[in-house]
């Protein structure tokens, strides 16, 4: 039985649309290429009377593409390398997000 259109997650990660090619560099020295959606939103946070500005880079992709990715791995997007700050955070739909920090 063919998959319904919404079940084919590859449709969302076409590099002709929103996705970018990403290299995952795992701590065991293996590398793999995936397509993902990169986002680097601005964050203005307050802590009592203190306020600070920062960004929160993150990567959204298929959960299956993030198998064995853990905190401490690296993500390379173009010529910029990011540290993975957390394990994959699944959203329950087959997608997952990684929190990143620019090196």
Q: What is the 3-state secondary structure (H, E, C) of 44-61?
A: EEEECCEEEEEECCEEEE
Q: What's the pTM value of the predicted model, to 2 decimals? A: 0.81
Mean pLDDT confidence for 7-21: 87
Place of tokens 């997000």: 97
pLDDT tens figures, 24-45: 999 999 999 999 999 998 777 7
Report the SS3 class of residue 7: helix
85-89: Cβ within 8 A, 24+ apart: 88/63
């Amino acid at each position: 039985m063919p998959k319904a259109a919404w079940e084919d997650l590859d449709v969302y990660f076409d590099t002709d649309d929103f996705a970018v090619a990403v290299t995952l560099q795992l701590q065991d020295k293996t590398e793999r290429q995936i397509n993902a959606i990169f986002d680097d939103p601005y964050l203005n946070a307050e802590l009592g009377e203190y306020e600070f500005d920062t960004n929160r880079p993150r990567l959204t992709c298929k959960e299956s593409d993030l198998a064995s990715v853990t905190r401490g791995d690296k993500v390379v997007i173009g010529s910029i390398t990011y540290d993975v700050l957390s394990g994959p955070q699944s959203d329950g739909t087959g997608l997952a997000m990684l929190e990143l920090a620019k090196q």
